[in-house]
């Protein structure tokens, strides 16, 4: 199977680990079989950052109520980055019908077929940043102009998140540009996973990203900004000499105002992003 599959007993001790699980997580069967979910090898978290291996584990829930459970969670790859996965869990029963464990099947939820198709179209139109595989500045400028026009015509609310990769220059200087490129790719990946399918995320330039988020109020805007900060902060990569590099971003978020130009909107987001950096980095500041 291309999906990851593993079995646990009633103590949540892993008894079986298939090749799909090894491919998705980087951990071979010999590294995990015999360990317990409580050991938190995969560090499962939900979109709010809750550590599921200790609180809210779908495997535990399935063994307690005897039902099938499904959830969207983030696991940590052996190399440190986060992967969004769709998890499906059901209990395993013995001959007498008693629950003796559970099976979890998980699959990579990073891209859907329609998103892959859209990426190929955008590549042909030169709208893709080749390093991060996100939309580039040209596409973002067009999308921002369209969002402003639609907001004026239809009264639809939208906001901007301006996101800066903290300490990017230090990563380049200390570990080299290839490591800096890898770090940018991982930040881009985690930001993409943090946002909704209807939002537009792209590389604004250098170490900055821009997200256009639709149908939001101040509360939703703040939650999306915090999620971006949290998921990137829970991600790390390894340098060429196997040293961990912890990643972080600073975010400024604003809601579009009637009659505002793209330049004015971006300037407001930029001020709040720099406020986040001035307050210690690795945080979000929104209206």
Q: What is the pLDDT of residue 103?
A: 95
Domain(s) of CATH 3.30.70.270: residues in the chain: 113-286
- For residues 96 and 275, which has the higher predicted lDDT (pLDDT)? 275
Domain(s) of CATH 3.30.450.20: residues in the chain: 4-108
The span from the CA of 99 to the CA of 82, in Å, is 31
| Domain 113-286, CATH class in plain words | alpha beta
Average pLDDT taken over every residue of the chain: 89
Instruction: State mean pLDDT over 175-184.
Output: 89
Q: Which of 129, 164, 166, 207 is catalytic?
A: 207
Contact yes or no for 210/139 (Cβ under 8 A): no
The span from the CA of 228 to the CA of 191, in Å, is 6
Residue spans of beta strands (DSSP E) within the chain: 4-9, 14-17, 69-76, 82-93, 99-108, 158-165, 200-205, 208-214, 236-238, 244-246, 249-255, 284-286
State the pLDDT confidence band at 116, using cuts at 50, 70 and 90: low
- Per 3-state DSSP, what percentage of the chain is helix, strand, and coil (rounded to 5)? 40, 30, 30
Q: What is the pLDDT of residue 47?
A: 80
Give this prediction's pTM: 0.63
The span from the CA of 188 to the CA of 53, in Å, is 26
The span from the CA of 232 to the CA of 100, in Å, is 37
pLDDT at 112 over 60: no
Q: What is the pLDDT of residue 108?
A: 86
State the pLDDT confidence band at 113, using cuts at 50, 70 and 90: very low
State the pLDDT confidence band at 274, using cuts at 50, 70 and 90: very high
Does residue 108 carry a catalytic annotation? no
Model confidence over 245-271: pLDDT tens digits?
A: 889 999 999 999 988 999 999 999 999
Q: What is the pLDDT of residue 41?
A: 85
pLDDT at 83 over 70: yes
The span from the CA of 104 to the CA of 282, in Å, is 34
Architecture of domain 4-108: 2-Layer Sandwich (3.30)
Share of the chain above pLDDT 70, in %: 95
């Amino acid at each position: 199977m291309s999906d990851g599959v593993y079995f646990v007993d009633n103590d949540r001790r892993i008894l079986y680990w298939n090749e799909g699980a090894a491919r998705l997580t980087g951990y071979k069967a010999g590294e995990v079989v015999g360990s317990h979910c409580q050991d938190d090898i995969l560090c499962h978290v939900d979109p709010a950052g809750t550590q599921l291996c200790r609180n809210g584990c779908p495997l535990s829930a399935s063994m307690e109520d005897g039902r099938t459970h499904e959830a969207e969670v983030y696991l940590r790859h052996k190399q440190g980055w986060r992967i969004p996965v769709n998890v499906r869990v059901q209990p395993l029963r013995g001959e007498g019908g008693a629950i003796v464990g559970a099976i979890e099947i998980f699959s990579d939820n990073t891209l859907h077929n329609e998103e892959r198709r859209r990426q190929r179209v955008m590549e042909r139109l030169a709208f893709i940043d080749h390093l991060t595989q996100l939309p580039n500045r040209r596409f973002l400028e067009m999308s921002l102009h369209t969002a402003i026009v639609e907001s004026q015509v239809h009264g639809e609310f939208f906001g901007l998140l301006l996101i800066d990769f903290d300490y990017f220059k230090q990563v380049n200087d200390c570990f080299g540009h290839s490591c800096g490129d890898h770090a940018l790719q991982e930040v881009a990946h985690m930001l993409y996973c943090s946002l909704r399918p209807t939002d537009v995320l792209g590389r604004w330039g250098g170490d900055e990203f821009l997200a256009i988020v639709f149908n939001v109020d101040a509360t939703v805007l703040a939650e999306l900004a915090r999620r971006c900060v949290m998921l990137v902060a829970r991600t790390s990569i390894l340098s060429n000499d196997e040293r961990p590099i912890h990643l972080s971003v600073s975010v400024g978020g604003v809601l579009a105002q009637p009659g505002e130009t793209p330049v004015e909107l971006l300037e407001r987001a930029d001020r709040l992003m720099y406020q986040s950096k001035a307050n210690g980095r690795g945080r979000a500041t929104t209206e």
